[in-house]
Amino acid sequence: MLWNLDQLKSELRSLGVVKSWSITREHVHRRERYFLQDQQSLGVDQDREARSESTFVRIAVNRADSSRQGEILKRLDPLRALRPQLEAAVQSALQTDHQAWSQPQPPAERLPELKTADPRMAEDLESVVEQVTRRIAAAVARKRSTRFNSAELFLSVHDSELHLANGLTHRQSQSRIYLEAAYSMAERAEDGTVRSDEFLATQWAVSLDDLDVEKLFDETSERAENSLRVSKPLTGHYPVIVDSEVLALVLAAQLPRLSGVAHYNQLPHVKPGEELVPGAEGDLLTFTLDPSLDYGADTTPVSEQGVPQKPLSLVQKNRVQAISADAQYSQYLGIEPTTVRGSLVVEPGTSSHQELSRSAPQVLEVLQFSSIFPDPNSGTFSSEIRLARLFDNVRGTVSWIKGGSISGSVSENFRKVRLSSNRVKRAHFSSDQANGQGYYGPEFALLNDVSVVG
């Protein structure tokens, strides 16, 4: 490395045109293990260890008009001279034009220490790899009618640092766990032809206590077993049960409508005092953005702009309570800054899964979508059905469904939503986002009158 953190700070201070800056550094220790079937037991196909470091700097520069500023985010190369990289970043920042805002003063009180990294992973990642491998081997060893195809296990510890021009420094670690399982089912028809299908499922977690290896492998095997006994759904409108993965995605897509960014830029938004779902009459949604949740996917005491993060009540019984705005957009809007980070914590309902599945003559439960991408502006969502089951409560049967698609919207299909009484914790991390998405809320939701096309 040709330069260090102190030199980086010194160089930034020496650039007269620079108004403010923030530095984010991250060191990642990662273990990967890939599994295949090795005759009658679990075999390790690949076993890897990786370490990486990255440094990003966000620079704000002054413009001739004091009401405007330029901004740029740049990843710095540790093996290249520092000064030319910063000068190039400044020139790029000068080509941008934003409304001016100021970095807030550092918080007066000490930031709380939160549970963000499983101590077992932080202290000995290798032991945890072996521990989870034994659990996977035990799950694979269970006698099943399906064939185990493969599994993947990724464990990582992310040590991060935040340094702001105002003097704030914050360091924390986060653990991340990813597990994937794949099973297949094959059947021979009377004419001798063989049909087969594979079912793959995944799970993310921050703490080992939230990783349910056994449930993941059991459910994946069961769904692979039934993936050949399927038919397409009949076109129509159904009550549809979705699980926490879908519920987390759809509700998280509502957060931009409750943000200072949407309010300032006149994007679709909902104001405090208004209903989130117009005319709702089912289980009225109540949710909080909680950055203090133990082992949440986005647990942190401070935002990247230096604003302390505390639980923020966004919606109470379908009524919007607040908007989420960090330092920049709170200054644009003339309001106090609020929490912008955290897991989505949703209050549960009162129904069991059985009550939801028996709530109408026919109820469709989607077990897995091919993919689902809710639109944050319109509140609509749609996807193909990878696997589902249809509860026919008139005939007393359960049949398996594959193919077709569903489409709906929050404003229509959440109007009479019913939420399960049990809650689960979920996490999700993606390569294109620095922060994770966390959820702690009902495991199931029953949506009303959802359009299904066979």
Q: pLDDT digit string (tens) for 208-243?
A: 999 999 999 999 999 999 999 899 999 999 999 999
Q: In what order do the strands lie in the sheet with 68-75?
A: 98-99, 68-75, 41-62, 18-38, 147-164, 169-188, 194-205
What is the pLDDT, as a whole number, of residue 420? 98
> What is the pTM assigned to this prediction?
0.94
Asked if 365 and 441 sit in the same domain, the reply is yes
Per-residue confidence band for 265, with pLDDT thresholds at 50, 70 and 90: very high
Half-sphere exposure of 439 (CA within 13 A, CB side): 26
Task: Share the mean pLDDT of the chain.
Answer: 95
- Domain residues for the domain of 123 are 5-228
Q: Are 383 and 370 in contact (CB under 8 A)?
A: yes
Asked if 250 and 154 sit in the same domain, the reply is no
Asked if 209 and 239 sit in the same domain, the reply is no
Rounded percentage of the chain residues whose pLDDT exceeds 70: 100
Residue 431 has pLDDT above 90, yes or no: no
Residue 302: C-alpha distances to residues 110, 176, 245 (Å): 11, 20, 27
What is the pLDDT, as a whole number, of residue 125? 97
Among residues 209, 228, 247, the one where a domain terminates is: 228
For the stretch 102-149, pLDDT in tens is: 999 999 899 999 999 999 999 999 999 999 999 999 999 999 999 999
Residue with tokens 């200054």: 331
Residue 188 identity (one-letter amino acid): R
Asked if 381 and 448 sit in the same domain, the reply is yes
Q: Which two tokens stand for residue 161?
A: 């640092």
Asked if 224 and 256 sit in the same domain, the reply is no
Helix (H, G, I), strand (E, B) or coil at 223: helix
Q: Are 254 and 410 in contact (CB under 8 A)?
A: yes
Residue 192 has pLDDT above 80, yes or no: no
**Neighbour-count burial of 294, counting CB atoms closer than 10 A to its CB (0-12 exposed, 13-18 middle, 19+ buried):** middle
Asked if 131 and 68 sit in the same domain, the reply is yes
Asked if 445 and 328 sit in the same domain, the reply is yes
Q: Are 146 and 224 in contact (CB under 8 A)?
A: yes
Among residues 228, 248, 270, the one where a domain terminates is: 228
For the stretch 42-78, pLDDT in tens is: 899 999 999 999 999 999 999 999 999 999 999 999 9
Strands 437-442 and 343-346, bridge-based pairing: parallel
CATH number at residue 49: 3.30.2290.10
- Count the domains in the chain: 2
Asked if 86 and 122 sit in the same domain, the reply is yes
Provide the 8-state DSSP code for 257. G
Q: Are 240 and 365 in contact (CB under 8 A)?
A: yes
